[in-house]
């Protein structure tokens, strides 16, 4: 028989069938199936309550009716119980539990099981997207890390993902930068650390051009020249883009991020006017106080605060580019979904963008992709204020320096741990550094991804590098420990031959671990559907906890071959799940630590 990857989805479908068979309006009824508190079962359906309340029916009676009408195929796999005012709890029968574990026994089979949810869909994910001629600082970390995890989650669920780095590579800042560049560029600094030099030149250019000054007028003229396509100005601009991209790619490399496209703002320069013309012709955009704007009368705020698509000086802006970007992604990439990852301060912009695009596409018979603005909070220091350098200049921390520090601090942890190992098993210094790179970067990524992205989070080296708690080192060590059991047993975790002759799961800790393994599918679905990787992180942490209880209570490498085989089976499943899960979060894993 076919065993579904996502058991919660099976229950959901069965509940709807049962509801229809019991005369309930199956369209209005949402079963709301989710992972249950393990004390009550494996899954819980909560939807009966809301439906009964709406329809003024007795929820318990309704729950009983639906439970009785459940298809036999579900009853054969689950024990059901009605709890409280009308929750329905589903507990996998031991045979069904084992069946799932055997069907989805390796990383490859898990992947195959997951890959149907978004099959056939194309998603464009716009993340990181920093502005050029500047170094990335800690604020840029979240978009990159969260965006990459989202790409991997969508890909794992079967979507074709297009990673697009929408660089901020066009705009008024280039007038001042060129002004500064022409006067104070230091050739030697430009070859040594070009992006630092560009930052310095922009700063000088900006300081030298106060409002109302003739210098500002000169900087404006530089911008006009660039926009008109003056050869020398464009050459300079190309240089800025090249060195920026090189510096960004060094960071992406360390974070294991690879973009398919770098279609920055400048890419859309020649695609802006047609968009404005179309919006105006459709009557969506109108002139208001010299600007071209789109009002959304039905919206509580945007009825009065319009979306400005062309400024009073006639120039296009961020909104114009983003409208052209929406069109390009819909038409050129045939996107079914678009994700843009930025901090929450851009929420209004993207809400207006989505509203405007929706109306525009509807009027022109285009299909509107699902649009998701994925927001995140601020990275805070331990003082609760936005994270800054410790030095007195109070600048935001450069991302490069942050990653260096992560590797350095991880090296201390790894070296200390290494010294505890028996002489013959120790890493060389070189190996320690390689492990520290993974642990250090992984800790920074995981610290971010283990938080609900909507919240601010406190950046704490001690917490993220701790070997206990919901941290990367804790999970990475759990994986390494499982691998060491397999090394001792002389088998590979991916090789299922050793499982022949395994006896049935028996001890409470074996069963608890097995039940947790089955929930991977639901955690994955939740994280992917909500585009919130922390749901997966939390699941992995809890799974590692169940594994550690199991490992403390039940000796894996016992002399009884049947017991040993079933326990090794659980180790192999845990390994596949933790390893897959961390990789989905973008964290690189190790077999030895
Ligand atoms: N460059 C922008 C910034 O640094 C982010 C761009 C996000 N993507 C977009 N299509 N607007 O804030």
538 and 575 assigned to the same domain: yes
Model confidence at 392: pLDDT above 60: no
- At residue 396, the pLDDT reads 80
Q: How many domains does the chain have?
A: 4
Q: Are residues 362 and 278 part of one domain?
A: yes
Enumerate the β-bridge partners of residue 44. Answer: 34, 89
Q: Does residue 27 form part of some domain?
A: yes
Q: What is the CATH number of the domain that holds 572?
A: 1.10.730.10
Could you say which of 254, 276, 297 is where a domain stops?
254
Q: Which of 273, 308, 305 is nearest to 292 (CA)?
A: 308
**Most informative mutation of 129, 139, 147, 320 for ligand 1 (most atoms within 8 A of CB):** 129
Whether 230 has a pLDDT exceeding 60, the answer reads yes
Determine the distance separating the centroid of ligand 1 and the alpha carbon of 167, expressed in angstroms: 7
The verdict on the CB of residue 324 being under 6 Å from ligand 1 is no
Q: Which atom of ligand 1 is nearest to the CA of 343?
A: 12
pLDDT score at 83: 94
User: What is the pTM (predicted TM-score) of this model?
Assistant: 0.96
Question: Residue 71: which domain range?
Answer: 7-92
Give residue 310's pLDDT band: very low, low, confident or very high (50, 70, 90).
Answer: very high
Q: Which ranges of 255-385 would DSSP assign to H, the alpha helix?
A: 272-281, 318-331, 347-363
Query: Do 490 and 364 fall within a single domain?
Result: no
Q: Is 322 in the pocket of ligand 1 (CB under 6 A)?
A: yes
Give domain status of residue 104, yes or no. Answer: no
Does 433 share its domain with 561? Answer: yes
Q: Verify that 243 and 278 share a domain, yes or no.
A: no
Inter-CA distances, 159 with 151, 156, 238, 325, 335, Å: 9, 7, 34, 20, 11
Using only C-alpha atoms, what is the Rg of the chain? 28
Closest C-alpha to ligand 1, atom 1: 168
**pLDDT tens column, 8-30:** 999 999 999 999 998 888 788 99
Is residue 239 located within the same domain as residue 342?
no
Domain contains 590: no
Q: What is the mean pLDDT of the chain?
A: 95
589 and 476 in contact (C-beta within 8 Å)? Answer: yes
Q: Are residues 486 and 562 in the same domain?
A: yes
The answer as to whether 107 is a domain residue is: no
Looking at the chain, the number of H-run helices and the number of E-run strands are 23, 13
Contact 551/116 with Cβ under 8 angstroms?
no
Cα of 339 to ligand 1 centre, how many Å? 12
Phi, psi of 241 (to 5 degrees): -65, -45
The CATH number linked to 64 is 3.30.1360.70
**Ligand 1 atom closest to residue 325's alpha carbon, by position in its atom list:** 10
Please identify, among 254, 279, 304, the residue that sits at the C-terminal boundary of a domain: 254
pLDDT at 121 over 80: yes
User: Is the same domain home to 293 and 208?
Assistant: no
Q: Which of 350, 343, 333, 341 is nearest to 260 (CA)?
A: 333
Q: How far is the CA of 589 from the centre of ligand 1 (A)?
A: 31
User: Could you tell me if the CB of 325 is within 6 A of ligand 1?
Assistant: yes
Q: Are residues 431 and 528 in the same domain?
A: yes
Q: Given this model, what pLDDT does residue 514 score? A: 98
**Long-range contacts, 346-351 (Cβ 8 Å, 24+):** 346/373, 346/375, 347/373, 347/375, 348/301, 348/305, 349/318, 349/319, 349/322, 350/322, 351/302
Place 300 in a pLDDT band, splitting at 50, 70 and 90.
very high
Do 243 and 296 lie in a common domain? Answer: no
481 part of a folded domain: yes
Contact 371, 357 (CB under 8 A): yes
394 pLDDT more than 70? no
Domain end marker among 254, 271, 290: 254
Instruction: Supply φ then ψ for residue 396, to 5 degrees.
Output: -65, 145
Q: What is the pLDDT of residues 26-83, one digit of tens each?
A: 788 999 999 999 999 999 999 999 999 999 999 999 999 999 999 999 999 999 999 9
CB of 164 shorter than 6 A to ligand 1:
no
Q: How confident is the model at residue 22, as a pLDDT?
A: 87
Backbone angles phi, psi at 395, to 5 degrees: -80, 160
Residues 445, 536: one domain? yes
Please report whether residue 2 resides in a domain: no
Calpha distance 442→255 (Å, rounded): 8
Please tell me whether residues 314 and 207 are part of one structural domain. no
Task: Please give the distance, rounded to the nearest whole angstrom, from the Cα atom of residue 42 to the centre of ligand 1.
Answer: 42
503, part of any domain: yes
In ligand 1, the atom with minimum distance to the C-alpha of 318 is 11
Contacts of residue 386, Cβ cutoff 8 Å, sequence gap at least 6: 378, 379, 380, 396
In a domain, 119, yes or no: no
């Amino acid at each position: 028989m076919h065993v579904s990857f996502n058991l919660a989805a099976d229950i959901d479908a069965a509940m709807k069938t049962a509801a229809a068979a019991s005369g309930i309006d199956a369209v209005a009824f949402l079963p709301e199936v989710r992972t249950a508190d393990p004390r009550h079962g494996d899954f819980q359906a909560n939807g009966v309550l809301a439906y009964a309340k709406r329809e003024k029916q007795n929820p318990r009676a309704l729950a009983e009716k639906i439970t009785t009408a459940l298809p036999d195929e579900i009853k054969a796999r689950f024990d059901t119980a009605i709890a409280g005012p009308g929750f329905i709890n589903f507990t996998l029968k031991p045979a069904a539990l084992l069946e799932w574990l055997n069907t989805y026994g390796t990383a490859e089979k898990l992947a195959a099981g997951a890959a149907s949810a978004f099959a056939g869909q194309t998603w464009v994910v716009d993340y990181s997207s920093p502005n050029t001629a500047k170094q990335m600082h800690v604020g840029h970390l979240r978009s990159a890390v969260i965006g990459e995890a989202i790409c991997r989650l969508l890909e794992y669920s079967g979507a074709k993902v297009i990673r697009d780095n929408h660089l901020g590579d066009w705009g008024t800042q280039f007038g001042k930068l060129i002004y500064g560049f022409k006067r104070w560029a230091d050739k030697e600094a430009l070859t040594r650390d070009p992006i630092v030099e560009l930052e310095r030149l922009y700063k000088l250019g900006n300081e030298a051009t106060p409002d109302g000054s003739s210098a500002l007028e000169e900087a404006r003229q530089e911008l006009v020249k660039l926009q008109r396509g003056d050869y020398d100005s464009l050459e300079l601009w190309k240089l800025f883009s090249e060195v920026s991209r090189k510096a960004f790619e060094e960071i992406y490399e360390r974070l294991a991020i690879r973009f398919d496209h770098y279609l920055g703002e400048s890419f859309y320069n020649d695609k802006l006017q047609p968009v404005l013309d179309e919006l105006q012709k459709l009557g969506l955009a109108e002139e208001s106080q010299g600007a071209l704007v789109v009002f959304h009368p039905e919206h509580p705020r945007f009825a009065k605060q319009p979306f400005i698509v062309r400024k009073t000086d006639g120039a296009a802006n961020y909104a114009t580019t983003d409208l052209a970007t929406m069109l390009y992604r819909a038409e050129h990439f045939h996107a079914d979904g678009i994700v843009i990852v930025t901090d929450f301060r851009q929420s209004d912009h993207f809400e207006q963008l989505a509203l405007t695009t929706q109306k525009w596409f509807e009027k022109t018979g285009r299909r509107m992709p699902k649009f998701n603005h994925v927001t995140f909070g601020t990275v805070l220091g331990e003082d609760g204020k936005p994270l800054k350098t410790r030095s007195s200049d109070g600048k935001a921390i450069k991302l490069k320096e942050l990653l260096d520090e992560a590797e350095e601090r991880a090296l201390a942890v790894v070296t200390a741990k290494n010294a505890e190992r028996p002489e013959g098993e120790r890493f060389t210094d070189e190996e320690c550094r390689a492990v520290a790179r993974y642990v250090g970067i992984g800790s920074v990524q995981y610290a971010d991804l283990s938080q609900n992205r909507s919240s601010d989070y406190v950046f704490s080296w001690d917490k993220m590098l701790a070997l206990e708690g919901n941290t990367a080192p804790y999970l990475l060590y759990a994986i390494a420990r499982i691998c060491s059991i397999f090394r001792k047993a002389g088998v590979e975790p991916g090789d299922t031959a050793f499982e022949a002759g395994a006896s049935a799961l028996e001890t409470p800790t074996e069963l608890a671990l097995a039940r947790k393994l089955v929930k991977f599918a639901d955690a994955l679905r939740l994280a992917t559907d909500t585009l919130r990787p922390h749901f997966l992180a939390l699941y992995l942490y809890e799974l590692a906890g169940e594994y550690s209880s199991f490992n403390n209570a039940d000796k894996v490498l016992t002399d009884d071959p049947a017991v040993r085989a079933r326990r090794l089976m659980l180790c192999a499943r845990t390994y596949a799940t933790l390893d897959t899960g961390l990789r989905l979060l973008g964290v690189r894993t190790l077999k030895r630590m």
